[in-house]
Amino acid sequence: MSLLLQYVANGLAAGSLYALVALGVVLLYRSSRVLNFAHGDLATLGVFVAFTALARGWPYPVALGAGLVGTALVSAAFYRLLIKPVRQATALSLVITTLGFALLLSGLMVWIWGTDTKVFPFPLSEVRVYRLGGVVVSELSAGSLAVGLLLVAALSLVVQKTRLGLAMRAVAQNPVAAQLLGVPAGRVLAATWAVAGGLGAAAGMLLAPAVLLDPFMMLDPFLKGFAAAVLGGMDSLPGAVLGGVVLGVAESVFAGYVSVKYKATLAFVVIVAVLLAKPEGLLGRPFHRRV
């Protein structure tokens, strides 16, 4: 039993990061109907900005803030300059646009920072541990889980309790009606892209100390976050959180009891299984087309 609790604790820490990535994916899909395949590369760019600021001696909170704000601004600019002009294009065109931007960002990061892995300095250690009964949790894992929960709670408050959140929900529900009622849909969508980019960068900064920093660091976490979004429901923010936690725990338990070797494939199995059994996801709403 203690071994199972250990696997669950490890999975919760990873699942909180998957949830942050999934929240960004769902936010953009709900508001813009765009699957942003550059989401992971944007997050990596934010981590590199913070890394560079730290290397130049900036205070830690300022460096992290620079990474978050920088990612948010680049993400909003990406929407304004590249996505907005082609929003009426086909879904395939939008996917190709985001993939092209992802390749551009990864190439830019390779050119500036190189392909060598780098150690991202972090105040929390993976060596120091806490013991809760028979469960051992590293300081980094506990901190990642705590920060992930705080960010999820903060996003929930923003979406449910602020004017920006109300505008975001209105634009996601019906952008034309929202504009007729005076909601500046363009600015709201740009703000949504900025928030999603910031969430991705936060996940990257929590992940970088454990996996080392390189231009392709977020490829696997993005795929896991995408799988979590599909599992929870592409139009449900609570579903994104649930999907991330379930996937993180499932991966940890699978690796412990079945095989670490095939752990990475579990996310793809989840995507296929959910699309076959419940295409709308665990908390998503069924899609109905009027004919």
Indicate the pTM of the whole model. Answer: 0.90
Q: CA angle, 214 as apex, 209 and 219 as ends, to 5°? A: 95
pLDDT tens digits in sequence order for the chain, 291 residues long: 677 888 888 888 888 889 999 999 999 998 888 889 999 999 999 999 999 999 998 998 999 999 999 999 999 999 999 888 887 777 788 889 999 999 999 999 999 999 888 988 887 777 777 787 778 888 888 888 888 889 989 988 988 888 888 898 888 888 888 888 788 888 999 999 999 999 999 999 988 888 889 999 998 889 889 989 988 888 888 889 998 998 988 888 888 888 777 777 887 887 788 878 887 887 876 655 444
Residue 286 has what pLDDT? 65
Q: CA angle, 35 as apex, 147 and 177 as ends, to 5°? A: 95
Beta-strand relationship, 129-132 and 135-138 = antiparallel
Q: In Å, what is the CA distance from 117 to each residue of 30, 155, 211?
A: 35, 32, 9
